[in-house]
Every structure is written in structure tokens, then in C-alpha cells.
């Protein structure tokens, strides 16, 4: 993870990221980008995952609500 984190956070349009603690050996991350185009452009970086990590799926969604 230490190898991929700097690449993700430096990706154009990166806003924030949350890497959730694994449950039953399965983790989850939520990455926010300025727009879908930039999120899709950064998606290939996920292919360079950390050792022992398998990416099962990638979804793109719009933020519905974000408190100030």
C-alpha cells in the first residue's frame, strides 16, 4: 500500500481517500476525485495494488451528499 498511496494521492483531481479496516479478510477503499473523468483516468493505478491485495471490483459513483 505504501507504494501505491503516493501515486493515487498525486493523481490529477484526487480529493480524498478512505481505506477501511478489513472485515473477514476483505477491505474496501473509497476514493473521491473532482469528476468522473479523472476518477476513470486514475483507475489503472489500482492495478498496481499492494502485495497480497486483489482488486475485486471498481465502481464509479457521484457523491450525493457531503457535509460542509
CA distance 56 to 67: 29
pLDDT at 49: 63
Whether 65 maps to a domain, the answer reads no
Indicate whether this model's pTM tops 0.85: no
Q: How many domains does the chain divide into?
A: 1
pLDDT at 3: 72
Whether 60 maps to a domain, the answer reads no
Name which of 61, 51, 63, 50 is nearest 7 in CA terms.
50
Sign of CA pseudo-dihedral 59, 62, 67, 68: positive
57: pLDDT strictly greater than 80: yes
Boundaries of domain holding 8? 4-47
51: pLDDT strictly greater than 80: no
Whether 42 maps to a domain, the answer reads yes
Which tens digit of pLDDT belongs to each residue from 3-42? Answer: 778 888 999 999 999 989 999 989 899 999 999 999 999 9
5 in Cβ contact with 46 (< 8 Å): no
Amino acid at each position: 500500500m505504501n507504494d501505491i498511496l503516493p501515486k493515487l494521492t498525486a493523481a490529477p483531481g484526487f480529493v480524498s481517500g478512505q481505506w477501511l479496516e478489513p472485515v473477514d479478510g476483505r477491505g474496501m477503499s473509497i476514493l473521491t476525485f473532482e469528476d468522473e473523468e479523472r476518477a476513470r483516468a486514475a483507475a489503472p493505478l489500482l492495478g498496481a495494488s499492494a502485495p497480497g491485495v486483489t482488486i475485486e471490483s471498481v465502481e464509479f459513483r457521484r457523491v450525493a451528499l457531503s457535509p460542509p
